[in-house]
Amino acid sequence: MSKRIDLLSVYRKHRRRIRREVNSRLDDQLSRYTRKISEIVGEPVPNKALLTKKDIVSVHKKIDSTVTLAVTTFDVDWENVPSEEIQRKLLDFFDKLLGQFYAVPKGERVLPYLRNEISGILHPRYNSQYQATFYEVSEAAGWLIEQLFKEDRIEEAQSFLSEFMKSNEAFSLAQIYIQSVLPTIRRLGRLESSQLGKREVQSLIRGYELLAGVYEKLCRIIIVMNDARKGKISNRDEVSRRGLASLLKEIRQEPKLAPIASKLSTKIRNSIAHPSYRIYYAKSRIRFPGEAEMTWNQFRKKTNDLSLALVALTVMPFLHLSRLGLPSTERIHYLNAISLLMCPHSRQCDRSLRGLSGPATLSS
């Protein structure tokens, strides 16, 4: 009991300083993110376009509430607490923490509800070939993420992604995605119900070339992640120099990942990159060397399939990671992440509380 009083008194003593530090770091992070988003979008983005003053006040309150929740929940003698009690405290903590950010129906617990919601998104029923394309790529990405957890290689994969996200290549990819890929996908949506003519076919060709280039970069990331799954250290420079055909061949060697490789045609991509295709305007057909002659509508379908596969490969791995990363009664190792809050001396507690207001917490 006295230990808990000491811990809470330390927290109360430094609470005002912690709040000031959190406020300062949040404002600094917001300015940095605003500048980065402006560079990616290609035009100025004011701070208020991201967070209003009301939003910022709300974030400050949530961070303060999180510190309070962590201190009051985990101030126990962990060495002498039964494992069932540890599980209950962990689940209660994450349930209350997520409850600050996600609204759920009355009477529902946040953690199980989010798991069910994410599972429903990841495993939908599909009624068309387009939905099947999205589903197949999502399932392939989900298998890879699941295996990384199963083989205890998720930290290596996360380390690679963290390093990649700080690179110039990732920044360039984000610019291409925002400024070119999203407008292209919107344009493909408008072409879906349009009658195709000369201008529309040329638009499809340019769209396929762009989407294929971005999809190729994502395939390189899949190679590195799959190498991590197998315990192999990838040479990123070597992977970046390899040709597309070599990348797709390696992906196909793992049957569970094969759907990812099947959505991109190297023959079409290379034919567009080194103009060697032929359009037959009178017959409304197009021929790519090495591919069977196809109608414009068939080529439109291939381009739409690639766009859906690209979206799935961009978004769904993170949803699978969220689903598998949500704490459960089987994952007691989450205690390691919170163990800093359970120190017996006030100096250690002070460091822990300051750590909660640091850049890692804000950026997450």
List per-residue pLDDT tens for the chain, 364 residues long.
444 445 555 555 666 676 677 677 777 777 776 777 777 667 676 655 556 777 777 777 777 777 777 777 766 676 777 877 777 777 788 787 777 777 778 878 777 787 777 776 666 666 666 678 888 998 899 899 889 888 888 888 888 888 888 888 888 888 888 889 989 998 988 888 888 999 999 999 999 999 999 999 999 999 988 988 988 877 777 788 888 899 999 999 999 999 999 999 999 999 999 999 999 999 999 999 988 899 999 999 999 999 999 998 888 887 777 766 655 433 433 333 333 333 333 333 343 333 333 333 322 2
Confirm whether pTM is higher than 0.75: no
Beta strand spans in the chain (E): 278-280, 285-287, 294-295
Q: What is the pLDDT of residue 216?
A: 93
Q: Is the dihedral of CA 25, 26, 29, 35 positive or negative?
A: negative
How many angstroms from the chain centroid is the CA of residue 36? 18
In whole angstroms, give the CA distance from residue 110 to residue 136: 28
What's the pLDDT at 194? 84
Residue ranges of alpha helices (H) inside 253-295 are 258-262, 266-273
Q: Note the Cα 45 to chain centre separation in Å.
A: 23
221-244 as b/e, with b when 16 or more CB fall inside 10 Å? Answer: bbbbbbbbbeeeebebeebeeeeb
Contact 81, 297 (CB under 8 A): no
Q: What is the model's pLDDT at position 61?
A: 75
- β-bridge partners, 294: 286
pLDDT of 49 reads: 57
pLDDT for the residue numbered 361: 31
Helix (H) or strand (E) holding 182: helix 182-191
Yes or no: say if 63 and 327 are a contact pair by the CB < 8 Å rule.
Answer: no
pLDDT of the residue at 123:
65
What is the phi-psi region of residue 57: left when phi exceeds 0, alpha when psi lies from -120 to 50, beta otherwise? alpha
Q: Give residue 166's pLDDT.
A: 81
